[in-house]
Amino acid sequence: MRFMPQSLANVIIHAVFSTKNRSPTIVGEVRPRLHEYVGGILRGMECPPIQVGGVEDHIHVLLRLSRTLTVAQTIEKVKTSSSKWMKGSVPEFAWQNGYGVFSLSQDDLDAAISYVQRQAEHHKVHSFQDEFRTLMREFGLEIDERYVWD
């Protein structure tokens, strides 16, 4: 009996990016629809969405990365496609140029899901910039604030 080779991967990432200049344009009923749309983009790329959430000026995306795509390809497609879709409801909509992406272990997943689900509560106290700085510190990354807040 001959077996077929199999390539498997479980690369879990947490992506975060904001609207351009943190403009509060993800509001009202468009927010849950955007989150669903982003999930659909990811499914189409064979990157199963785990949790998508956020508030009026940014989004968090937990996903399993396809074994055939890079992080950059995945985020570029999500941002480009969702930006075009958002412009149908909010003509001035745009994402920031950059993003933050962090790797998660399977053991981190439940806490990350809960964190994304609690974004509205979290941002009653913390700004996006403070949250992003904290994530960078937690994941051992340094940012140059001259370029990260476009």
Convert the pLDDT of each residue in 32-42 to its tens digit: 999 999 999 99
Q: Please determine, for residue 7, whether its predicted confidence score (pLDDT) is greater than 90.
A: no
Mean pLDDT over the full length of the chain: 93
Rounded (10°) CA dihedral 138, 141, 146, 149: -50
Domain boundaries, the chain: 11-136
From residue 123, how far is each of 5, 81, 87, 120, 129 by CA, in Å? 47, 26, 25, 5, 11
Work out the pLDDT band at 139, boundaries 50, 70, 90: confident
For domain 11-136, say whether CATH 1.10.3720.10 is its number: no
Convert the pLDDT of each residue in 62-102 to its tens digit: 999 999 999 999 999 999 999 999 999 999 999 999 999 99
Q: Percentage of residues in the chain with pLDDT exceeding 70?
A: 97
Lowest mean pLDDT among 13-17, 53-57, 95-99, 124-128: 124-128
Q: Please determine, for residue 4, whether its predicted confidence score (pLDDT) is greater than 70.
A: no
Convert the pLDDT of each residue in 108-129 to its tens digit: 999 999 999 999 998 899 988 8
